[in-house]
Amino acid sequence: MLRDEVLALLKAREGKPLSGEEMSRALGVSRAAVWKAMESLRDEGYVISSAPRRGYALESSPDKLSAGELAGALAGRRVGRALVCLETVDSTNDEVKRRALAGAADGLAVVAERQTGGRGRRGRSFVSPAGQGLYLSVLLRPRCPLEEVSALTAWTAVAVCSAVERVCGVRPGIKWPNDVILDGRKLCGILTELELEAETAALRHVVVGVGINLTQTAADFGPEVAPVAVSLAQALGRAPRRAEMAAAVLVALDELYAAFPAERAAWLERYRADCLTLGRTVRLLRAGGEEEAFAEAVDDTFALVVRRADGSREAVSSGEVSVRGLLGYV
């Protein structure tokens, strides 16, 4: 859309004026079309000053998600080079899957203001109110053995921690395997889904979904979720603009994709440093019941190594793990 292209030009100037003639030349449209796009942006809450012989300057922006808001940060990157911003969607993961089946390009990113059917691991619902969180998914087509792909969820948790640190100056931790934790409560959920060829079981694509709580209050979460969830506004007393957070997450995912899987050792080291589960008593939840153990290590496959009371050890690669001191487990 022309409004997104105009917005991207204004943001690239970082508050310095840009004339309508320069924009019309750069975009190959009339000055009247530029003016209409400018008025559309003003109607959406963008404060744009104008002066004769100087042009237009972006003074301030509303907290909105759009291609124009994100274009500058994503220029030249593989993740986000195709970007779709939606008001409402059932699930950003499902939207990416639909577009993948239709031939969408590697690196496609879908960002939504609101999800009506957001979900997490094991089919749990993920509440996604409009304007209060960041909900995005990306399409990846990695060329690597299938057994490597299972680690993408853990890599993504590290990438989200890095994005939050860049924007907010504080680094969250990770509850194994992929919950991003701040102040002992869940800040972000991650859902990774694979699509395989029916006949050969070869990997077709991976969809990585991220949902970050930004401005929710305890009342927004509700009595059941509030004790185990946290937003950046609650933890820090403020929340970044959603476009700023979205750009940081997409950039971090692009860095992940460029490194995957060749730089496994470096990302494993970062995961271990971020993992809050290590050194704590954990409760393993299985079909046959519950069992307490001590979380000793994360092995080279990102599995959690636990030690039982009798001294025996096990590498846990899947399942539910409660961690004492996190998410209400005491």
Per-residue pLDDT reduced to its tens digit, 234-257: 999 999 999 999 999 999 999 999
pLDDT cut 90: percent of the chain above it: 76
SS3 content of the chain, % helix, strand, coil (to 5): 35, 30, 35
- Asked whether residue 143 falls in the same domain as residue 182, the answer is yes
Return the pLDDT at 330. 44
pLDDT band at 324 (very low <50, low <70, confident <90, very high): confident
pLDDT, mean of residues 51-79: 91
Tell me the pLDDT tens digit for each residue of 253-297. 999 999 999 999 999 999 999 999 999 999 998 777 889 999 999
pLDDT at 122 over 70: no
Backbone angle region of 181, left / alpha / beta, with phi > 0 → left and psi within -120 to 50 → alpha: beta
**b/e code 91-102 from CB counts within 10 Å (16+ = b):** bbbbbbbebbee
Task: Convert the pLDDT of each residue in 93-108 to its tens digit.
Answer: 999 999 999 999 999 9
Average pLDDT over residues 41-59: 91
Is the same domain home to 55 and 92?
A: no
Q: Is 316 in contact with 288 (CB distance < 8 Å)?
A: no
Q: Residue 289 sits in which domain range?
A: 281-323
Residues 266 and 147 placed together within one structural domain of the fold:
yes
CATH number at residue 300: 2.30.30.100
CATH number of the domain to which 33 belongs: 1.10.10.10
Q: Is 186 part of any domain?
A: yes
Does residue 298 belong to any structural domain of this protein? yes
* Mean pLDDT on 68-81: 93
User: Structural domain tally of the chain?
Assistant: 3
Task: Note the helical H segments in the chain.
Answer: 2-12, 20-27, 31-43, 67-74, 92-101, 146-149, 152-168, 218-221, 232-236, 242-259, 264-274
pLDDT for residue 170 is more than 70: yes
48 plus 160 within the same structural domain: no
Residue 77 carries which side chain, given as an amino acid letter?
A: R
Q: Are residues 197 and 94 in the same domain?
A: yes
Q: Are residues 93 and 8 in the same domain?
A: no
> Do 56 and 172 lie in a common domain?
no
pLDDT at 164 over 80: yes
Cβ neighbours, 10 Å, residue 219: 8
Dist. CA 199–CA 116, nearest whole Å: 33
According to DSSP, the β-strands at 109-115 and 83-89 are parallel
Task: Tell me the C-alpha distance between 180 and 185, whole Å.
Answer: 8
In this structure, what is the dihedral angle of CA atoms 71, 73, 76, 77, given to the nearest 10 degrees? -110
Are residue 90 and residue 13 in the same domain, yes or no?
A: no
Decide if 170 is inside a domain.
yes
CATH number at residue 238: 3.30.930.10
pLDDT given at position 278: 96
pLDDT above 70 (res 118): no
Q: Which residues contact 318 (CB under 8 A, 6 or more apart)?
A: none
The reply to whether 212 and 180 lie within a common domain is yes
Same domain? For 142 and 238 the reply is yes
Residues 245 and 110 in one domain: yes
pLDDT band for 304, please (50, 70, 90 cuts): very high
- Sequence-separated (6 or more) residues with CB below 8 Å from residue 6: 23, 27, 34, 37, 38, 41, 68
Measure the CA–CA gap between 101 and 205, rounded to whole angstroms. 10
Residue 124 pLDDT > 80, yes or no? no
> What is the pTM (predicted TM-score) of this model?
0.89
Q: Residues for the chain: how many in total?
A: 330
In 3D space, the residue among 75, 116, 73 whose CA is nearest the CA of residue 93 turns out to be: 116
Same domain for 23 and 138? no
| Inside any domain, residue 330 | no
328 in any annotated domain: no
Q: Is residue 217 scored above 70 in pLDDT? A: yes
Q: How confident is the model at residue 126 (pLDDT cuts 50, 70, 90)?
A: low
